[in-house]
Amino acid sequence: MNIVFDTYQTLALASFVLLLGYFLVKRIRVLQTFNIPEPVVGGFIVAIALTILYKVNGTSFTFEESLKTSMMLVFFSSIGLSANFARLIKGGKPLVIFLFAAGILIVCQNVIGILGTQLLGIDPAYGLLAGSVTLTGGHGTGAAWAETFTKEFNLPAATEIAMACATFGLVFGGVLGGPVSSYLLNRQKQGENPENDDVDDVQEAFEHPTYKRKINARSIIETIAMLSLCLLIGQYLDGLTKGTQMQLPTFVWCLFTGVIIRNSLTNLFKFQVADSAIDVLGSVGLSIFLAIALMSLKLWELVGLAADVLIILAVQVAFMAFFAIYVTYRMMGKDYDAIVLSAGHCGFGLGATPTAVANMQAITSRFGPSHKAFLIVPMVGAFFIDLLNAGILKMFLTSLSPSSKLS
């Protein structure tokens, strides 16, 4: 039996998931120690409960996907609206270094995947599916490339394996960032800097999602208007470029639209954008998106993963932790910002950019802001990484299948 939740029911359950996560993280010390994001805690517990229900009597649940997509687009639009050109320029060199580190990880993930398949005696194409296709790429990239794997490598269950691998990565992307950051924070002896609810520093808003902010009805309405415009233009550009060389995910167009709207209003029309309202609505969008994404996980699909692919994924998780601690952290300067960036890298290196931001918020809410991390990770994770991953993947696919006609 499959129970379908409509928009209101999905929103109500997602809100419960978030409240459950907040309640548990506040009261269970180990969750605070390892900086596990609240949506991950609540969402994972509900996903486990729904999996038990499915195993007991075969009942499954389908949630409203359009709400999840809308919340994701709201989040990325808010990232764009929060980015003024002055801050983007500041991100210059560190952004390039972080992108280079992300590129190294993509290559390593695919090498690990292919070597793993050779040692286990299975088709090397499975190694790419358990590599950057689904880990750095996530569900969207996995679904997009699955058809290619089915046609080029004759893998009949490519889509199912891709979705299961991406789900595995999403779960561990949210879980791994906390222990990695905790280890690095202990090494650096970083002291806690608890949130002060009376602080209203817009520069720190995304880093401290529970701060009280000075917002009013007008600033909220103005922000909703800007976010709506980002979604409208982003969706239009997505349809306009679909099937062309300019094709990009919808959320990337929304992010870019937000950057243009923000800087046009600020620099050309001298309009004071309500950063506090943008950050509040952006954080709400992020939290609801993650809650729906995690409570929608069909964990029983992970059990269906071939043992060989599961072994490769386990190695990928261990390597991600190693890479974040010994490569990302060192390349980014071995300071507090580098710790936050390393936790973020665990998020989108295994899961998705919203998971990366949630990982970083779990740290900055306790240890203080990191403007550099919240500038670099969304930009790299939302845009640059998809282009880089696609280019590297095409090289690996060509090497595995010289006759491939991938364009």
Q: What CA–CA distance (Å, rounded) separates 27 from 19? A: 12
The CA-atom distances, in angstroms, between 161 and each of 61, 175, 386, 399, 404 are: 21, 21, 20, 22, 21
Q: Give the residue from 255, 248, 253, 242 showing the smallest Cα distance to 285.
A: 255
The whole model's pTM is what? 0.69
Q: What CA–CA distance (Å, rounded) separates 4 from 388? A: 37
Q: What is the pLDDT of residue 407?
A: 42
HSE at residue 378, side-chain half, CA atoms within 13 A, is 33
Q: What is the pLDDT of residue 4?
A: 87
Predicted confidence pLDDT, tens digits, the chain (407 residues): 888 899 999 999 999 999 999 899 888 887 776 667 788 788 888 988 988 998 898 888 889 888 988 998 898 888 788 776 666 666 578 888 999 999 999 999 999 999 998 898 888 888 888 898 888 887 666 766 776 777 777 776 676 788 778 878 888 888 898 899 989 988 876 655 555 544 444 444 455 555 555 778 888 999 999 999 999 999 999 889 887 877 777 877 888 898 899 889 888 888 888 888 888 898 888 888 888 887 887 777 666 566 788 889 999 999 999 999 999 999 999 899 999 999 999 988 987 777 888 889 888 888 888 878 888 887 787 667 877 887 888 788 777 764 544 44
Q: What is the pLDDT of residue 221?
A: 92
Tokens of 249: 């995910």
Q: What is the pLDDT of residue 107?
A: 94
- Give the angle 399-404-407 at the CA atoms, nearest 5°: 100
Q: What CA–CA distance (Å, rounded) separates 84 from 73? A: 19
Q: What CA–CA distance (Å, rounded) separates 260 from 268? A: 11
Q: What is the pLDDT of residue 253?
A: 86
Strand partners, 62: 4
DSSP string, 192-253: P----TT---GGGTTT-TT------HHHHHHHHHHHHHHHHHHHHHHHHHTTSTT---HHHH
Tokens of 389: 């991953």
Alpha-helical regions (H) of 352-406:
353-367, 371-379, 385-400
Strand, coil or helix: 290: helix
